[in-house]
Amino acid sequence: MNHERFMQRALDEARKGLGRTSPNPPVGAVVVRDGEIVAVGHHERAGGRHAEVVALERAGEKARGADLYVTLEPCNHVGRTGPCAPAVIEAGIARVFVGSPDPNPIVSGRGIRRMRRAGLAVEVGLLRDECDTLIEAWAQFITSGRPFVTLKVASTLDGRIATRTGDSQWITGERARGLVHALRDEVDAVIVGAGTVAADDPRLTARVPGGRDPLRVVLSSRLEVSPRARLFHGASVAKTLVACVSPAPEAEAAALRAAGAEIVECRGVNGRIDLGDLLARLATLGIVHVLVEGGARIFGAFLAAGFCDRLLLHYGPKVFGGGPAWTDEPAVARVADAPGFRFVQVSELGGDLVVEARPVERHPAKRTVRTSVEKADEKQAAGGSTRQIGASAREAAPARRASRRRKPALE
């Protein structure tokens, strides 16, 4: 039986929920009987049925004696919906293939242990890397308490985001810009600075078929944003927040509220927005993944603060030879002090170059923490009583470490 093919289908189902399930993770499930898929399901929205329940209800009696493939460990706690592990047991499932254990240390392994105690055969780690990547934003959110941050930059080959006169439309081509709209459809919020609003007057919407617009967040320490900006007057139902340093200027705040904006007052550092406070406030709104789209001071502030989990660089095949660079921070004096990145993927898209990079830890710590699932797997490998399909324990990916809170500043 091609187990990877069925888990891949579960991943495809889960991706349908990207940007729609926060503060819950995207999850997909597939029920397979006699080598044939009989039902699929995914988690559609927070508060809605979980993927396993959707798939099991669709399978009905065909679930008895069948296999269940699920991208994330079935939950065993009561939240806005009932626990999934008991539902899997009651449906009569014989075997369960789990992609990722739940990264939440408070609940990790409970669903798996409950199913194993009920006599189900449970294998953990099928397509683990792909399943971990699917929920990486949520995993950071649930373990560190702050949103996952993606920086998206469109620049020329010499790193410019505009000409010396400020002209910036368009540096990249239509397909690269279409990719940005798809990204907006998958994240919870888009962040830009007041300078970008003034220069480009963007709508920050996801113009893709069936798409939904993210929360729009504008950063301006003194609310220097025009109430006439298109952000406040388009057809989108998405909210627009304007973040500033507390206390907010009364006249400017009143004008922006009249235009439909919500004002978020943050702590200030040297007259600028405390980024750590901003991200914490967004987390309380259930924002799991934010996409930062500029401009240069915004990119620089996030980089200098260490709030960059993924960097996407879209290079247009142009050279300006002048104009603003995409960042001017952290402005290191020595090469050894520069933040390091590793390339994850480089591809060509419609004549543009798309580069994905991830930050590199300066002094990565040795792994000392194992999840409860991994401990159980090791017990099985040593001849213990815990049931698991397969002869040996899996060497799991390193556990994510909670990020240290810092006090960065912005605009």
Answer yes or no: is pLDDT of 112 > 90. Answer: yes
For the residues of 311-338, what is the DSSP string, one character each? Answer: EEEEE-S---SSS-BS---S--SSGGGS
Q: pTM of the full predicted structure?
A: 0.84
Q: Which long-range contacts (CB under 8 A, 24 or more apart) does 236-241 make?
A: 236/203, 236/205, 237/213, 238/205, 238/212, 238/213, 238/214, 239/215, 240/215, 240/216, 241/215, 241/216, 241/217
Angle at 243 between CA 238 and CA 247, to 5 degrees: 135
Phi-psi region for residue 223, left (φ > 0), alpha (ψ -120 to 50) or beta?
left
Dump pLDDT digits (tens) for 212-252. Answer: 999 999 999 999 999 999 999 988 999 999 999 999 999 99
pLDDT recorded at residue 82:
73
Confidence of residue 79 (pLDDT cuts 50, 70, 90): low
Is-catalytic flag, 52?
Answer: yes
Query: With pLDDT > 70 as the criterion, what percentage of the chain qualifies?
Result: 87
Residue type, 208: V
Q: What is the mean pLDDT of the chain?
A: 87
Determine the number of helices (DSSP H) and then strands (DSSP E) in the chain: 12, 17
Q: Decide: 408 and 305 in contact? Cβ < 8 Å.
A: yes
Angle, nearest 10°, between helix axes 372-381 and 110-117?
Answer: 40
In the set 13, 52, 123, 293, the catalytic residue is 52
